Amino acid sequence: MFRKAPAFWEKRGPISFILWPLSLIYSAVLQIRKLFQDLGLWVGKPVSVPVIIVGNIRVGGTGKTPIVIAVAQQLAQLGWKPGIISRGYGAKTQIIPLQVRSDSDPALVGDEPVLIAKLTHDNFPIWVFPQRSQSIAALLKQNPEVNVIVSDDGLQHAGLSRWPAREGGRDIEFVVRDARGEGNSFLLPAGPLREPATRERDATLIMGSQKAEVYPDGYFLGQRAFNLTSQLGAAFQLHHPHTTLSLADIATQYLPAKMTAVAAIGNPQRFFDDLQTQGICASGIALPDHSTFHASFFDSINAECILITEKDAVKCAHIQDERIWVVPMTLAIPDTLSQWMQAILARPDPHQPSQ
């Protein structure tokens, strides 16, 4: 329903105020759920390893998937053995947890998990299922050596018991924020927020050119924020991955009127803006997140060069079109964030009684 953010979510106006009473109902539901949790009436079973949740309070993507990849890779470099779980958005209805590999069908397990598997070369066990505790159980049974879980989203998943770092635990809750911020700051459906902007978190991960210091004290509960910077790499042909072109070469070889960028991600405009900073002024086609692709769609595009994201590329394996170029994106974890995660994960398990 909300795979593509409506324009009225960004600024308060007539439509958002008409829907505002429904937001009050949604807020009441959130408060009742929190009350049940506080009273111990709705508590999931804790898992034996620490869990790092990379989530967002805004509906739609804010750049979580590349962060999940970067966090898992950084943890591996630090000597940890991470596993990854995801809900598998865009997948067919699942009845049991499923393991994901780079050659898995995105229609069955979701496009983002397949992308994670491809970009990490199947180095980490990845499992998907709406009930995240069941995914963790299946993952740990199959891979008992895993000693930390990285969850792609799941902040609002009440069935996953956790003891966050801010409460003395070793689980970590990240809220990812991009340049769109909180829009009009209303809860669903009048605005884009799944939870209030003041939601507690262990840290805020800020994607893009924003700076944490521009916000007043108290905005980020936990008083900890990290800026993450992404970088676009050389593009490669969809069906000839070894054929590459730098973005500078693409900008030189093709006229702007002959280039089109396509993105079916949470924030397509960010992809278009990133391309523009590299000198590529292509027209943009923004599609709802997790959209599927057919050859007829690309056939209808009058362009000599079509640029797509890696996430969309995993759904285009059946499409033969030499005009399609995939633009990879990488992201590095700052040393300060890496050191902080290491310190938190090294804490003793708070679920176990003290000796």
- For 265-278, the pLDDT digits (tens) are 988 999 999 999 99
Does residue 18 sit in the same domain as residue 137? yes
Range of the domain at 323: 231-329
Does residue 220 sit in the same domain as residue 236? no
Does residue 135 sit in the same domain as residue 280? no
Burial class (CB in 10 A: 0-12, 13-18, 19+), 251: buried
- For 188-208, the pLDDT digits (tens) are 999 999 999 888 899 999 987
Number of domains comprising the chain: 2
pLDDT for the residue numbered 3? 60
Does residue 159 sit in the same domain as residue 287? no
**Domain assignment of residue 309, yes or no:** yes
**Domain assignment of residue 1, yes or no:** no
**Domain assignment of residue 57, yes or no:** yes
Across 81-180, the runs of DSSP E, i.e. the strands, are 82-86, 98-100, 126-128, 148-152, 172-177
Does residue 251 sit in the same domain as residue 206? no
Cβ neighbours of residue 216 closer than 8 Å, sequence gap 6 or more: none
**Domain assignment of residue 51, yes or no:** yes
185, 191 Cβ separation under 8 angstroms? yes
**Domain assignment of residue 149, yes or no:** yes
Rg of the chain over CA atoms, in angstroms?
Answer: 21
Show the tokens assigned to 286.
């923004």
**Domain assignment of residue 325, yes or no:** yes
Does residue 215 sit in the same domain as residue 241? no
Does residue 54 sit in the same domain as residue 65? yes
CA distances from 240 to 122, 223, 237, 245, 297 (A): 21, 46, 5, 12, 20
**Domain assignment of residue 3, yes or no:** no
**Domain assignment of residue 162, yes or no:** yes
CATH number at residue 199: 3.40.50
Identify any residues that bridge with 351 across adjacent strands, giving them in sequence order: none
Does residue 195 sit in the same domain as residue 325? no
The binding site for ATP comprises: 58-65
The binding site comprises: 58-65
Using alpha carbons, select from 3, 5, 2, 355 the residue that is nearest to residue 180: 5
| Residue 153 exposure: Cα atoms within 13 Å on the Cβ side | 22
DSSP 46: P
Report residues of the chain scoring pLDDT below 70.
Answer: 1-3, 93, 209-223, 354-355
Does residue 102 sit in the same domain as residue 205? yes
Does residue 130 sit in the same domain as residue 272? no
Does residue 267 sit in the same domain as residue 216? no
Alpha-carbon distance 133 to 128, whole Å? 10
pLDDT for the residue numbered 60? 78
Alpha-carbon distance 209 to 92, whole Å? 36
CB count in 10 Å sphere of residue 4: 14
Does residue 70 sit in the same domain as residue 135? yes
Q: Give the global pTM.
A: 0.93
Using alpha carbons, select from 334, 30, 27, 62 the residue that is nearest to residue 175: 62
Show the tokens assigned to 210.
């924003």
Give alpha helix (H) positions in 214-319.
Answer: 247-253, 268-277, 295-299, 310-313
